[in-house]
Amino acid sequence: MDAGFTLARAHYVKLVLLWLGFAAPVFAFCLFIQLWMGWSSVWSVMFFVWWWFKPLYELPQVMYLSKALFSEPVSLRAAWKMALSQFWLLFKTYLTLARLSTARSLTYSVVFLERLPRKQRAQRIQTLTMVPTRHYLLMMVCFHIEYILTYAIGVALVAIFAANMIDAIDWLEFFLEPDGEKYAAWFATLSVLALLVGGLVAPFYVTGGFLVYINRRMHLEAWDIEHRFRNITPRTKLTQTLALILVSTLLFSAPETSYAQEQRSQSIASMQEVTDALSDILAHEDFGTTKTRKIPTFNRDDDDEYEESQFLKDMREWLSDATGPMAKFIKLLLWVIAVLFFLLLLHTIRRFRRPTLSTRTLTRGNNKDEAGAISHPLTQNLPDDIAGGAMQLLKKGDRRQALSVLFRGALRAVMNEYDMKINKGATESDCKVRVAEVASEQQVQTFYRLLGVWQQEAYANQPQQEQTIASLIQEWTQAFPAKKHSANAASTGDRV
Amino acid sequence: MNDSAQFLIAHENLNKLRNNFSNVVIGQQATIDELLISVAAGGHVLIEGVPGLAKTLLARCLAYSAQADDVRIQFTPDLMPSDIIGHAMFESESQSFTVREGPVFANVVVADEINRAPAKTQSALLEAMQEQQVTIEGETRALPQPFIVIATQNPIEQEGTYPLPQAQLDRFLCKVLIDYPSADEELKMLQQVTHESIANQLDLSHLQPVLNVNDLVHIQQTASFISVDAAVQKYIVSIVTATRSWNGIDMGAGPRGSIALLRAARAHALLHGNEFVTPDDVKIIATAVLRHRIQLTPDLEIEGYSPDDVIANLLSTVDAPRT
ipTM over cut 0.90: no
Q: How far apart are CA B67 and CA A451, in angstroms?
A: 40
Contacts of A378 in chain B (CB under 8 A): 320, 322
Q: Do A423 and B317 touch (CB under 8 A)?
A: yes
Q: How far apart are CA A67 and CA A64, in angstroms?
A: 6
CA atoms within 13 A on the CB side of B240: 23
- Nearest CB among A404, A428, A460 relative to B280 is that of A428
Residue B45's DSSP bridge partners are B150, B174
Q: How far apart are CA A451 and CA B283, in angstroms?
A: 17
Q: Do B317 and A427 touch (CB under 8 A)?
A: no
Q: What is the pLDDT of residues B71-99, one digit of tens each?
A: 888 888 888 888 888 888 888 888 888 87
Q: What is the pLDDT of residues B142-174, one digit of tens each?
A: 888 888 888 888 877 666 778 888 888 888 888
Beta-carbon contacts of residue B296 (< 8 Å; ≥ 6 apart):
B248, B249, B250, B305, B306, B307, B310
Distances (CA, A) of B97 to A295, B41, B139: 96, 37, 12
Q: Does A455 touch chain B (CB under 8 A)?
A: yes
CA atoms within 13 A on the CB side of A314: 3
Q: How far apart are CA B210 and CA A78, in angstroms?
A: 98
Q: Is the pLDDT of residue B224 over 60?
A: yes
Question: With contact defined as beta carbons under 8 Å apart, do A381 and A493 qualify?
Answer: yes
The pLDDT score that the predictor gives to residue A371 is 54
The pLDDT score that the predictor gives to residue B193 is 64
Tell which of A221, A254, A271 closes a domain.
A221
Closest Cα of chain B to A155: distance in Å? 21
Report which residue type is found at A20. L
Q: Does B30 touch chain A (CB under 8 A)?
A: no
Sign of the torsion formed by the C-alpha atoms of A410, A411, A412 and A416? positive
Burial A437-474 (b: 16+ CB within 10 A, else e): eebeeebbebbebbbebbbbbbbbeeebeeeebeebbe
Tell which of A221, A248, A275 closes a domain.
A221
Q: Does B99 touch chain A (CB under 8 A)?
A: no
Question: With contact defined as beta carbons under 8 Å apart, do B65 and B211 qualify?
Answer: yes
Verify cis geometry, omega within 30 degrees of 0, for the bond prior to B146.
Answer: yes
Element (H, E) at A266: helix A259-267
Q: How far apart are CA B291 and CA B313, in angstroms?
A: 13
Residue-wise DSSP of A373-427: TTT-GGGSS--SSHHHHHHHHHHHT-HHHHHHHHHHHHHHHHHHHHT--EETT--
Residues A209 and A242 in one domain: no
Each residue's pLDDT, cut to its tens digit, for chain A (496 residues) gives 778 888 888 889 999 999 899 999 998 888 888 777 766 666 777 888 888 898 999 999 998 988 888 777 788 888 898 888 888 888 888 887 778 887 888 888 888 888 888 788 888 887 777 776 677 788 888 889 998 998 888 888 877 877 777 777 777 777 666 666 667 777 778 888 888 999 999 999 999 888 888 888 887 776 656 666 565 555 555 556 666 665 555 555 544 555 555 555 555 567 778 788 878 877 776 666 667 777 776 665 555 555 667 788 888 888 878 888 888 889 899 999 999 999 998 887 766 654 444 444 554 444 445 555 555 566 667 777 777 888 888 788 788 888 888 888 888 888 877 777 777 788 888 888 888 888 788 888 888 888 888 888 888 877 777 788 888 888 888 877 765 544 444 444 333 3
Q: Does A433 touch chain B (CB under 8 A)?
A: no
Residues A415 and A487 in one domain: yes
Residues A184 and A59 in one domain: yes
Q: Do B312 and A378 touch (CB under 8 A)?
A: no
Q: Which of B57, B64, B63, B161 is nearest to B119 (CA)?
A: B161
Architecture in CATH of B1-182+208-225: 3-Layer(aba) Sandwich (3.40)
Q: pLDDT band for B24, please (50, 70, 90 cuts).
A: confident
Closest Cα of chain B to A361: distance in Å? 9
Query: Which of A443-447, B36-40, B282-286 bottoms out in mean pLDDT, i.e. has the lowest?
Result: A443-447
Looking at the domain assignment, is residue A288 inside a domain? Answer: no
Residues A415 and A462 in one domain: yes
Phi, psi of A347 (to 5 degrees): -60, -45
Q: What number of H helices and E strands is found in chain B?
A: 13, 11
CATH topology of domain B226-323: Helicase, Ruva Protein; domain 3 (1.10.8)
Residue-wise DSSP of B179-197: -PPPHHHHHHHHHHHSTT-
3-state SS string for A161-211: HCCHHHHHCCHHHHHHCCCCCCCHHHHHHHHHHHHHHHHHHHHHHHHHHHH
Residues A259 and A203 in one domain: no
Mutate which: A427, A453, A495, vs B, most B CBs within 10 A: A427
Burial A82-97 (b: 16+ CB within 10 A, else e): bbeebeeebeebbeee
CB pairs under 8 A between A and B: 98
The three-state secondary structure class of B112 is strand
Q: Other C-beta atoms within 10 Å of B63: how many?
A: 23
Q: How far apart are CA A482 and CA A472, in angstroms?
A: 16
Q: Other C-beta atoms within 10 Å of A301: how many?
A: 7
Give me chain B's average pLDDT, please.
82
Q: Do B280 and A427 touch (CB under 8 A)?
A: yes
Tell which of A244, A260, A283 closes a domain.
A283
Q: Does B4 touch chain A (CB under 8 A)?
A: no
Mutate which: A348, A351, A356, A357, vs B, most B CBs within 10 A: A357
Contacts of B279 in chain A (CB under 8 A): 427-428, 459
Residues A51 and A138 in one domain: yes
Q: How far apart are CA B258 and CA B170, in angstroms?
A: 11
Q: Is the pLDDT of residue B30 over 80?
A: yes
Q: Do B279 and A427 touch (CB under 8 A)?
A: yes
The pLDDT score that the predictor gives to residue A258 is 53
Range of the domain at A433: 371-492
Residues A108 and A211 in one domain: yes
Angle at A114 between CA A113 and CA A119, to 5 degrees: 135
Contacts of A352 in chain B (CB under 8 A): 247
* DSSP assigned state of A112: I
Question: With contact defined as beta carbons under 8 Å apart, do B179 and B173 qualify?
Answer: no
Q: Other C-beta atoms within 10 Å of A108: how many?
A: 25
Burial class of residue B174, CB neighbours in 10 A (0-12, 13-18, 19+): buried
Residue intervals of chain B classified under CATH 1.10.8.80 are 226-323
Contacts of A428 in chain B (CB under 8 A): 278-280, 320
The pLDDT score that the predictor gives to residue A76 is 87
The beta-strand segments (E) located in A85-166 are none
Q: How far apart are CA B167 and CA A217, in angstroms?
A: 73
Residue intervals of chain B classified under CATH 3.40.50.300 are 1-182+208-225
Distances (CA, A) of B223 to B6, B95, B217: 10, 48, 10
Distances (CA, A) of A442 to A103, A422, A476: 76, 21, 10
The pLDDT score that the predictor gives to residue B298 is 81
Count of structural domains, chain A: 3
Mutate which: B228, B296, B316, B318, vs A, most A CBs within 10 A: B316
The three-state secondary structure class of B53 is coil
Distances (CA, A) of A161 to A150, A187, A419: 17, 16, 46
Q: pTM above 0.90?
A: no
User: What is the DSSP pairing of strand B172-177 with strand B44-48?
Assistant: parallel
Phi, psi of B176 (to 5 degrees): -100, 130
Q: How far apart are CA A475 and CA A470, in angstroms?
A: 9
Distances (CA, A) of B229 to B274, B276, B318: 13, 8, 18
Contacts of A458 in chain B (CB under 8 A): 229, 231, 321
Burial A218-246 (b: 16+ CB within 10 A, else e): eeeebeeebeeeeeeeeebeeeeeeeeee
Distances (CA, A) of A426 to A81, A114, A151, B67, B252: 70, 73, 45, 41, 22
Closest Cα of chain B to A404: distance in Å? 5
Distance of CA B192 to the CA centre of its chain: 27
Contacts of B270 in chain A (CB under 8 A): none
Residues A195 and A260 in one domain: no
Q: Do B315 and A365 touch (CB under 8 A)?
A: no
Closest Cα of chain B to A162: distance in Å? 24
Residues A194 and A278 in one domain: no
Looking at the domain assignment, is residue A242 inside a domain? Answer: yes
- Nearest CB among A172, A354, A426 relative to B320 is that of A426
Q: Do B229 and A458 touch (CB under 8 A)?
A: yes
Q: Is the pLDDT of residue B25 over 60?
A: yes
Q: Other C-beta atoms within 10 Å of B284: how many?
A: 21
Looking at the domain assignment, is residue A387 inside a domain? Answer: yes
Interface of A with B in 399-418 (CB under 8 A): 400-401, 404, 407-408
Residues A196 and A246 in one domain: no
Beta-carbon contacts of residue A398 (< 8 Å; ≥ 6 apart):
none
Q: How far apart are CA B108 and CA B114, in angstroms?
A: 15
Contacts of B249 in chain A (CB under 8 A): 357
Residues A265 and A213 in one domain: no
Angle at B191 between CA B189 and CA B195, to 5 degrees: 115
The pLDDT score that the predictor gives to residue A367 is 46
Looking at the domain assignment, is residue A305 inside a domain? Answer: no
Helices A12-36 and A54-68: crossing angle in degrees, nearest 10, is 160
Q: pLDDT band for B304, please (50, 70, 90 cuts).
A: confident
Q: Other C-beta atoms within 10 Å of B89: how many?
A: 11
Residues A177 and A46 in one domain: yes
Q: Do A459 and B276 touch (CB under 8 A)?
A: yes
Q: How far apart are the first and last CA of chain A?
A: 80
